[in-house]
Amino acid sequence: MIRINLSPEPQWLDLGHGVRLQLLPLTTALMVATRSDIAVQDLAADASNDSRAAVFASALARRAVVDWDGVGDADGAVIDVTPEGIDALLSLWPIFEAFNLHYVSRGMLLDAEKNGSAPSPTGTSVGATATARPAKRSAKTAPRD
């Protein structure tokens, strides 16, 4: 079963370390706009997956973050949400990892709740042949009378 949240309202996501982000719902329109972001489009063809993930997450966050709690400047003063602030926040590994895991991955993979069903007979493994060879017997058995 796929669970759909029909609320158009931004929701809070706790990223740990006292940081919370208020985020727009992760919609198709938001993902498509992020894929069209100039920073994403300008990635070199040979860019690593890690580089691609970091650039995509920042581009998505710049579109999705409405507000935040627990983010301040070097002196501890609360700062407003800005594109530069979002990029700086996501440059912190634990924050990036939590954002990527709990928000970005929802747009990259649709993981339906498990229901215990067997794999579909029309899936990618249909028609697959076994590649393992049967084990050889090491000792011959005596003939039967």
- Determine the pLDDT at residue 8: 82
Q: Tell me the per-residue pLDDT of 68-123, one tens digit each, with 9 for 90 and over.
A: 999 999 999 999 999 999 999 999 999 999 999 999 987 666 533 444 444 545 55
- Write the DSSP symbol of residue 78: B
Q: Tell me the per-residue pLDDT of 40-65, one tens digit each, with 9 for 90 and over.
A: 999 999 999 999 999 999 999 999 99
Say which amino acid occupies 91: S
> Quick check: pTM over 0.75?
no
Helix, strand, coil percentages in the chain from 3-state DSSP, rounded to 5 = 35, 10, 50
- Determine the pLDDT at residue 135: 56
Of 63, 68, 101, whose CA–CA distance to 83 is shortest? 63
Instruction: Return the domain boundaries, the chain.
Output: 11-108
User: Rounded CA gap, 83 and 92, in Å?
Assistant: 15
Residue 49 parent element (H or E): helix 49-64
- Determine the pLDDT at residue 48: 95
